[in-house]
Structure 1
């Protein structure tokens, strides 16, 4: 574990879009749970009184004109300096009283603490069955590929270390950013800790900004893209093996006919089969080359992280 931080500074990060119904209570709850922390509310083009209410409750309110949760988190991570960061939503679905324990785990040396909804009340509180199905699908896909056991891949309640925040490249623009964070952490073998929390559904009058189908497609696209980038050998190697096997089977069929008749009757099939075999080999070679590049990227990330942590201490 890393050196323990004495009297850490804590920043609570609340990305918000039209949350006037709940933001006041959320700010009050986090100020009560973490009285020494600074609460930041980033208003993402709200058309209601979100920013006004948050400021009245004592939060530091800033504007982020680029629409999308990923863009807001990117701005937060760039702008704010603290020893520990706690990120939650402004919809009052996450319990602020869990924040001190999450902060304590980061102080112990964890890079990211995940507020695990799925081990407690999520499936009882969440009334959107497709969201439940999507959580299970994403969790199974990522854990299977990375050999991990993360329970809640997509939770928006997390705590981070300073080094994680300043070295994590936020590429996603929308709600798929949480999935991206988890994959990034697993790929780089960061220190993760899952803490079960009591999830509650949005209160009456508060409207979810999630588009079940649209955002679900974005999440799956993010997983597909990051698997291609972080696990290129299984991705391209598996695709190459599939294409190559089809080509070999077609070649074998043409060869069997030639052995029985003494002539090749299906030249187009033979040509196509040979091209499939060549394509399969090229995909496999591509996977090997990209896998070497991905490993070098992980080495560079570790080196940069160590250098950043050293500079932070000194």
Structure 2
């Protein structure tokens, strides 16, 4: 099994991929053991694949479009003691590779997050809406999932074998980094931030990220994973909302007139409010049931983690 696998997902990065591979090869000389650089091409229409081959990378293709689909293929096919994932757009400093790998190999960190936002990102990035979006996503995840990851959407990360082989890739696009951050947090994986410098894309290289559409997908992913991993809180909020709406209609339209006259004048409102309270009770108990299922799933995850660790030790012997 390789000591380090450098994974580079690519889509039309002919302008920069050669330099990124060369820089990775230089950085890998400081990492003991065997390093293999994998470029996963995602239906590029330029010379990305040819340039990557010419620069000595192992090139594979993923024909389902989307970064999440590419990462699913990489994680499934590549076995290594440690992994580095970075984009092929030459925005990340490869000289940080040895330090990030050292945390995985020697400190047993499951995911090292290349933190751009605490250094040069907001100065280098020329897309202001990306800056706002990163701040919103970081606040949301750190608030709802109680973690301290400083850069949720960075594409520069290091992983352990255990993380790669237990991470369920559900997203298909750029929301994959958000999914990684949340999954590591809720499963109590060992995560560390690693400060990196960020440089914007070189002139002529265009980002594939659509600020509005991909941003909405990221926020939808956060909401969905909050519901899945914290169902008791989520459905309690829904139940409270139903009760609030019911009370807002019941008190002025039914209860206050009843106190004044002793009669109920708005039976349809009374019936609707009754159904809203019933929906609140169902929602509340649904949260209790799903909370128990989530706890069982976490226990199953720990057993699966042990199986993956046995496989890791087998591959290394």
Normalising by structure 1, report the TM-score.
0.96
Deviations 1:57-92 (A, max 9, x none): 100011110100000000000111100000000000
Say which SS state the counterpart of residue 7 (structure 2) adopts: strand
1:305 and 2:299 matched? no
User: What is aligned with 2:279?
Assistant: 279
Partner of 2:69: 71
Distance 2:66 2:165 in 1: 20
Q: Aligned equivalents of 1:11 and 1:63: distance in 2?
A: 16
* Residue 205 (structure 1) shift: 1.1
Could you say which residue in structure 2 is the equivalent of 1:92?
Answer: 90
List, as ranges, runs of 4+ consecutive aligned residues in structure 1 with deviation greater than 6 Å: none
Query: Retained in 2: the 8 A contact 1:248–1:277?
Result: no
3-state SS of paired residue (1:83): strand
Once the two structures are superposed, the pairs formed by residues 37-116 of structure 1 within 5 Å of their partners are 37-107=35-105, 108-116=107-115
- Residues 110-161 of structure 1: CA distance to partner in whole angstroms, max 9, x if unpaired? 0000000000000000011111111111111111111222110110000000
Partner of 1:20: 14
Equivalent residue for 2:200?
201
**Which structure 1 residue ranges, 5 or more long, are not aligned?**
1-6
Q: 1:275 to 1:146 in 2, by over 3 A?
A: same
Aligned ranges for residues 1-314 of structure 1 at < 5 Å? 9-35=3-29, 36-107=34-105, 108-253=107-252, 254-314=254-314
What CA distance in whole angstroms lies between the structure 1 residues aligned with 2:152 and 2:193?
10
Cα distance in structure 2, aligned partners of 1:14 and 1:87? 6
In structure 2, how many angstroms separate the alpha carbons of the residues matched to 1:311 and 1:141? 35
Is the Cα–Cα contact under 8 Å of residues 9 and 88 in structure 2 kept in the other structure? yes
CA contact (8 A) 2:14 2:47 kept: yes
Alignment check: 8 A CA contact 2:113 2:149 kept: no
Distance 1:157 1:261 in 2: 69
CA distance in 1, matches of 2:21, 2:265: 76
State the Cα distance separating 1:262 from its structure 2 match.
1.5
SS in 1 for 2:5: strand
TM-score, scaled to structure 2: 0.95
Tell me if the contact between 2:2 and 2:79 (Cα under 8 Å) persists in the aligned partners.
no
Q: SS of the counterpart of 2:80?
A: coil
Equivalent position SS for 1:219 = helix
Question: In structure 2, how many angstroms separate the alpha carbons of the residues matched to 1:182 and 1:157?
Answer: 12
Q: Partners in 2 of 1:130 and 1:263 — Cα distance?
A: 56
SS in 2 for 1:210: coil
1:12 alignment partner, SS class: strand
Q: Structure 2: where are the runs of 5+ without partners?
A: none
How far apart in 2 are the matches of 1:170 and 1:121? 29
Higher mean displacement: 244-253 or 87-96: 244-253
What root-mean-square deviation, in Å, do the aligned CA atoms of Structure 1 and Structure 2 show? 1.2
